[in-house]
Structure 1
Amino acid sequence: MKISARNQISGTIAAIHPGAVNGTVKVDIGGGVIVTASITEEAIADLALVEGDAVTVLIKASDVLIGK
């Protein structure tokens, strides 16, 4: 499958926190950096995600905001 997102980072699922509709998936991308994604519980189930899985974080955003 081809994907238009150019920002692709490999990592390992460190934790999954279920929610009523959306859950959070924490992915360790190395160097002590954790990326957190909020995805539907249905997507977590469809992808059969579990802690320790090797995954790819895909980042496609029209806006990236930084505040200070």
Structure 2
Amino acid sequence: MKVSARNSLKGTVKTITPGTVNTEVVIEVAPGVDVVSIITKASAEALELAEGKEVYAMVKASNIMLAVD
């Protein structure tokens, strides 16, 4: 698999919370470090996501905002 996204995080599906239209997927990318993704329910089904399945979280953004107190 080749993709243009430079930020690819390999992880394991921790939890899946399906909704009417979208599904929340929590991916553990390191011990104690989770990434949460909201994808369409149809995409979650097409990817055959299940807890414990290995996946890649790919981040593609034109802007990333930072803030400090």
Q: Distance in 1 between matches of 2:61 and 2:55?
A: 19
Pairwise CA RMSD:
1.1
Provide TM-score, normalisation by structure 2. Answer: 0.91
Q: How far does residue 65 in structure 1 lie from its aligned partner after superposition?
A: 2.0
Unaligned runs of 5+ in 2: none
Q: Structure 1: any 5+ residue segments left out of the alignment? A: none
What does residue 36 of structure 1 align with?
36
Aligned length: 68
Aligned-residue offset at 1:67: 3.4
| 1:21 corresponds to 2:48 | no
Secondary structure of 1:3's aligned partner: coil
With normalisation by structure 1, the TM-score equals 0.92
